[in-house]
Every structure is written in structure tokens, then in C-alpha cells.
Structure 1
């Protein structure tokens, strides 16, 4: 019996469990991820899953870390620091676009392993830019806030009804903005025309570039 148990738990690796969980999350959302559903997908008992994963929260965290680790591993090609930072940022953006359920976790738990992976990669590149030590924390966290801010947006989008199309949602929002009081919201009304057709990825990268421009100015002002 001990031999059979060891063989079964060895065959059902944590990686297999995490990959199966990602499949459920991508297809049906976080609400559909239960250990019963996971057991059915893996054709095993829940006890074998608990051997590797303590609970659902740990499972979603492991799934998020698995995806982010893959993103970071794919960025190994040497490149200029600013380009490397853009690559990290866009890698996270694209991962969130493919797996919007990650948004809630990334935006709510800043100390989880997945966030630390992003921080490590971004921080090394900020150092490589020559940012002085006393400005490293502010420069790196500004970039992290810009990168993880998109996670909150994806988390909100994940809560929309699954049949809600992006274009319809943005058009409706722009219409509401356009009807605001012109005396109280002149600027918001001006932006309304740009909302429906904007490109989220392009907008995100523009924000990253603005932060990088600010970081470059810090480096240039620092004594040589």
C-alpha cells in the first residue's frame, strides 16, 4: 500500500496540478476552481491533491507564479536595460490579457512570489541604468506600480459578464462621460471621444515609457 501511495503521489506532480488548475481558471474563471473539479480533471482523489497544495488560495498563487515564472524565463536574451524593462512589462501585460483571473491576486498581495519575480527583474534593470542607490526604491516601485496597475484593471474586467464585449463596454462608458455636466467635467468629456478606440497595450506601454523618462532624468541629475 505504501508503495502504491508513493507511486501515485509521485505521478501526480505539483506541476500537473497547477497546469490543470490554470486550464480551469482560463476556461471558467476562479469561481469554477474547486478541488472537486480539479480531482475530476486529473482523475484522482482530492487527498492526492492536498498532498501538494494546501488550499485554493495557495493553488491560485501557485498557478500565478507558474505563469509569471514562464514569462520571466522567456526574457533571458540580453538587451539594453530600458528595453528589458519594457519586455518585462509587456510580458506581464500579455500574461494578464491571456489569464485575467491573475489580476486580482497580483493587485492584492504585493509580497507573493510572482510579484517578487517581477520586482527582481525590474530592479536589476533599474540598477543597470545607473540610478543612484538613494533613488532605487522610488524608481523601481514607480515602475512596479505602473506594471501592476494593469493587474487591477484586468481584475475588474474579469468580473464583467462573460458576454460583455470590450468595445460595447467602452462605447457605453464614453457615452456616459460625454453626457456629464460640461461645467463640472470639461476634461473628462474631452477624453470621451478617445475611449472606445484606444489600444490598451499601446496605452500601457506609453505609461511605462513616461516612468522610464522620469528615471532617466534622475540618473542624469545624479553626480558622476
Structure 2
């Protein structure tokens, strides 16, 4: 099973989900299609288990943060580890925690994040909302970042900088009274870094969580 999942992840990383077929996987493993069915019953199950296989490495990488003195710092490190992995694998976000019957590591990861939130002594609903918000932000941002670049960039017709300049030029032509926000961020949008923007958004989310925990602590005093 380990060999099947490892090769599945390699195929997905190289060619994406459309390229994953039992025939293609069996050829890479040097066996027949029937041998794959010995381990999984369907492509959906294989994808769920492949996602879970990747999460095992995220769990290993984040073990060091479990006992961080500051649970918010621990949450930041754990979230960044998941983001880094998911951003490198465009297929992963679609199958993250999709079917926990086949994904014990996804439950362990959920527990790892939630365990840090528990240290903030919030209500069960607040803890659930907070953990879900962090995971949703991380997975969503990674999925957005891992999208295929515009055709013009992929083909080499324009550089990313040239493409961004063109977008900014289009936005600049919009009516400023109708689109005041877009006009206010044109210079930032032109040069922004997606990774830095993710970290800034994560800090905003965690800062709000810290403030909520401080209010909860103050109400108990």
C-alpha cells in the first residue's frame, strides 16, 4: 500500500488529477490494473488516501510545534506547514479532509490545530469555528495560489510583471467613483507577493483569535 500511495502522489505531482488512472498507475508500478484494486476500490478512494499520505509528512514536520509556549505561534507554524505543502500540490486542496473514513491523518491534523485552540480556553463553538477558519483560509489560499498561471504567462508570451502591468492598466481605466477600492490598491497589486500576502492574512486571522481569547480570559476573571 505504501508503494501504491507514494507512486500515486508522484503521478499527481507530475501530471495532476486527470492523469491519474489505474492503468497509468499500474504501468508505473510494473503490475496489472487488478493489483491496484487489491488496495483500493475506486479512484476517489485512491485520491483520498493519497491526500492522507501527504498529510503524514505535514504531521511529522509540525510535531516540533506542539509544545510551543504560545499556542498562537504554534498555530501559525502548523498552518504555514500545511500551506507550503498544499501550494506545491494543486490537487491536494480538493481532497483535504474530504472523506475521513480513509484519512486518519487528516483527523490527526485537525486535532493538532484544534489542540492548540483548546489551550485558548474558548467555548466549544468558538474553538470549532476558529480551527475551521484557520484550515479554510490555509487550504483556500493554497488552492488559489496553485492555480495554473494565465495562458499568456505559461506560453512565454509575456512575463508575470508584464501581465500584472496590463491588469493594472485595465483597472486604472475603470471609473474611480465606482471602484474606489481597486484604485486605492493599484500600486500594491502590481508588486504584491502571494506568499507574503498569505502570511499577512494569516496574521490578521490569528490576531483576531488572540483577541477573542483575551476577552474570554478577562470575562472569567
Partner of 1:92: 82
Partner of 2:122: 131
Deviation at 1:133, TM superposition (A): 3.8
**Alignment equivalent of 2:133, drawn from 137, 142, 150:** 142
Structure 2 unpaired stretches of 5+ = none
Q: Is 2:179 the counterpart of 1:181?
A: no
**Alignment equivalent of 1:197, drawn from 168, 183, 191:** 191
Partner of 1:73: 60
Q: Is 2:157 the counterpart of 1:167?
A: no
Deviation at 1:189, TM superposition (A): 2.4
**Aligned-residue CA RMSD (Å):** 2.6
Alignment of 1:11-90 (within 5 A): 14-77=1-64, 78-79=67-68, 80-90=70-80
Q: Distance in 2 between matches of 1:83 and 1:164?
A: 41
Going from structure 1 to structure 2, the CA distance change for 1:65 and 1:179 (only over 3 Å counts) comes to farther
Number of residue pairs matched by the alignment: 209
Q: Does the 8 A contact of 2:72 with 2:206 survive in 1?
A: yes
The structure 1 segments of at least 4 consecutive aligned residues displaced by more than 6 Å after TM superposition are none
Q: Is 2:130 the counterpart of 1:101?
A: no
Deviations 1:117-156 (A, max 9, x none): 432111100111333445222222222222222144146x
Q: Does the 8 A contact of 1:132 with 1:219 survive in 2?
A: no
Deviation at 1:18, TM superposition (A): 1.0
Structure 1 unpaired stretches of 5+ = 1-13
